[in-house]
Structure 1
Amino acid sequence: MALQLSRLYPSLRPFMAAMTLNIALLSMAQAAEPPIKVGLVAALSGQSAKSGEALTRGLTMAIDEVNAKGGVLGRPLALVRRDDESNPSKGMLAARELIQREKVAMLFGGLDTPVSLAIVPLANQLKVPFMGIWAAGTKITENGAADNYVFRVSAVDELVDEALVKYGVEQGMQKPGMILINNPWGESNEAGFKRALEHRGLANAGVERIQDSDLDVVPQLTRLKNAGADTLLLVGNVGPSAQVVKSLDRMGWDVPVVSHWGPAGGRFGELAGPNAGRVHFIQTYVFTEHNNAKGDALLTALKKAYPQIQSLADVTPAVGIANAYDALHLSALAMANAGSTEGKAIRDGFYGITQYDGLIKQYQQPFTAQKHDALGPDDYVMSHFVGDRIVPLKP
């Protein structure tokens, strides 16, 4: 068009040349726009490394989709990761580095409730949105801050505890015993279980604690058995949960185990042995042979991006992929609503999301100033291990 005009009107040639140059310079400037960095703090090594990789994959697949459509605010997104080694102090230092040195617009994390609880005050103090995509401690989002920058697309302990007690009762549970990891995550669930049981008029057979380092928990289990426990309510990550199964095998105690989702976080099927499937646990999403259209499309894209994914067992834990995938897309919408990468604007941008057709569900007004958790008990799926695969239990 510019060439045709310059031929018809020679006097316009200098103007048209300048305009063409300006357009080219503008295009170059837009192409040179630096990426918007988003950070991930999670366990990328140790027993939970498989879960950290699932979070990475979910974020990466969503970022690729966002960038393919032009990014956010005309800029691509870029992921910067740090390994917290499941250590609260290291997690807080990693979060501070990502915020202050890497200048991330948003922070995503992570696997462990104690690590997330250590990061929460920092995120609120520095006014950088922190999106939880695994850790389920109720107090992560309900943290009491007058100016709360913490959101979550994941399970919530208090709601999970209600769902687990409901499921246990449906399976015939009358007097459960609790066996809980000895940290703030375990404490959070103890309170939630007791409220849920009290609401149903049920007593408990006692509360026993386990450590990440335990190699045998027969003494704790024996006390619960002697107290008349007819079901175990379990909260622990991969290692201690596997030791519970092994100890039950040594005792010969065939008791139902209803669990939070800790066993999904790594090599549980391998570590727990042939009876890993006896543990029934919560998930927010499970890939199967028959998913919705978005699930099938994402599974195809995952296999293309990660050739090591050969079967459904290779996308375990799907919950990490799904939570992170939906959370990133919701965060991109919040940034678009904000019109900037300033923390308060992004925070308020979350409140402006009216709907999003996600992988886990159709989100309708997922966040408000009073509600920073996007998922609830209707979004949970009871599952168990079959070999190395996580498989939904039939309703």
Structure 2
Amino acid sequence: MFRTLVVSLFILLLPSGGWCAEKIRLGMSTALSGPTGELGTAMRDGVLLGLERINREGGVNGRTLDLVVLDDGYEPARTAPNMRRLIEEEQVLAVIGNVGTPTAIASLPLVREHGLLFFAPFTGAGVLRQTPPERYVINLRASYAQEIGAMVDALVDHGGLAAEEIAFFTQRDGYGDSGYVAGYGALRRHGLKDERQVLHVRYPRNTLAVENALADVLLAEPTPRAVIMVGAYDPCAKFVRLARAAGLESLFLSVSFVGGDFLARALGPDIDGVIVTQVVPHPQERRLPIVAEYLGDLERLDPAAAPNFVSLEGYVAARLLGLGLGRIQGAPTRESLVAAMESLGSIDLGLGTPLYLGPQRHQASDQVWPTLLRQGRLISFDWRHIAELVPERP
């Protein structure tokens, strides 16, 4: 995908003497390999697509935008050296679209040390959403707390579940922990009194070792009627397939980080009824202006490429960053870029819902879009119909 742009990417990895007056250099450390490699690749492709459109329209105040991408394999130990290289050797103006919570945690010390904008990471973790906001972290997407809160509200209010009938399957790291903490908070709002009433099972990051977690779910009394998943696409797919084969009828729900399109492909057309929350609209929703632009740019650049939620998120992130860069008078600096992003205020990017950024608001969107897996593809879903998917009480 994006062969021409990827060739340019490798040229960018050659040493440079710093910022060029005609170019603005951005960086990304992401998973291009390993079990979550498709997430990082899709995010990279979406950002590149958005930057290509900005450059095609004349760049930002006459400057073109370049992206330097380094592979961290979704391993924090590889992220920190990548970030240091991007900041100190490649001298990027900002980092955009890094994938993952544990890798974001590894990035934060360097972001703070160098006063570098850490923009639109592909994670909804609370550690990146402080009050008051951390100056150098600006998010595009809704948080995991908002995604999981929407799930729990729907399960209880529309599905008729009691809080203790909802279980969690999470990755054993900062990402999974962030999701579980968000879920526990949502359950407390619905009357949960004791954390011990919640079944929480886990699997190790970057593995498919889900069998022990599934065994705990199968042995639980009572059997959970819904399981919220906070993991990567392959282990979540394996967990669902094994659970269905074992006769477990629970409703499975997942946060957006799973990469819904990749989860759907991994599950195949024979497993239906999995809900995935999204933080961007459906990538086939052409009535929305920015989705139409995304699809048009994708078709122009690579007619064989399939649109997906992750690359659309990267595309929106690049377009939003371009608006901030356009606010800067003269040569951009790391500090002037943060100030410019905070000055954007209310923004209509054509998503069907407005975005907002300001000095006290470093998360542009609060919107969560539910989708449902049907015959191997994700379709838009209305929470009011969730009761039809939940198994009856024994």
TM-score, with structure 1 as normaliser: 0.82
Distance across 1 between alignment mates of 2:51 and 2:259? 24
Q: 1:202: how far off?
A: 3.7
Who is 1:5 aligned against?
A: none
Who is 1:106 aligned against?
A: 94
8 Å contact kept, 1:238–1:267:
yes
Q: Residue 325 in 1 paired to residue 318 in 2?
A: no
Q: 1:171 aligns to what SS in structure 2?
A: coil
8 Å contact kept, 1:133–1:323:
no
Who is 2:337 aligned against?
A: 346
Q: 1:134: how far off?
A: 1.4
Who is 2:13 aligned against?
A: none
2:201 alignment partner AA: E
1:206 alignment partner AA: L
Distance across 2 between alignment mates of 1:298 and 1:155? 20
Q: Residue 150 in 1 paired to residue 137 in 2?
A: yes
Distance across 2 between alignment mates of 1:293 and 1:371? 25
**Cα gap change, 1:357 to 1:41, in 2 (>3 Å):** same
2:103 alignment partner AA: V
CA shift digits 1:235-254 (9 cap, x unpaired): 11112211211221221011
Q: 1:388: how far off?
A: 4.4
CA shift digits 1:11-53 (9 cap, x unpaired): xxxxxxxxxxxxxxxxxxxxx9431111122111223222222
Distance across 2 between alignment mates of 1:389 and 1:241? 16
> Which of the pair has more CA radius of gyration?
1
Q: 1:126: how far off?
A: 0.4
Equivalent residues in 2 for 1:39-118, closer than 5 Å? 39-118=27-106
Give ranges in structure 1 of 5+ residues lacking alignment: 1-31
Equivalent residues in 2 for 1:1-395, closer than 5 Å? 33-142=21-130, 148-169=135-156, 170-174=158-162, 175-202=165-192, 204-211=197-204, 212-216=207-211, 217-224=213-220, 226-264=221-259, 267-284=262-279, 285-288=281-284, 290-309=286-305, 314-316=306-308, 318=309, 320-339=310-329, 340-364=331-355, 366-376=356-366, 379-395=367-383
Q: 1:321: how far off?
A: 2.1
Distance across 2 between alignment mates of 1:163 and 1:315? 25
Give ranges in structure 2 of 5+ residues lacking alignment: 1-19, 384-394
1:55 alignment partner AA: M
Range that drifts further, 243-252 or 192-201:
243-252
8 Å contact kept, 1:179–1:234:
yes
Range that drifts further, 206-215 or 240-249:
206-215
8 Å contact kept, 1:242–1:276:
no
1:350 alignment partner AA: M
TM-score, with structure 2 as normaliser: 0.83
Q: How many residues align?
A: 353
Who is 1:4 aligned against?
A: none
CA RMSD for the aligned pairs?
2.3
**Cα gap change, 1:276 to 1:81, in 2 (>3 Å):** farther
8 Å contact kept, 1:237–1:265:
no
Q: 1:253 aligns to what SS in structure 2?
A: coil
8 Å contact kept, 2:93–2:334:
yes
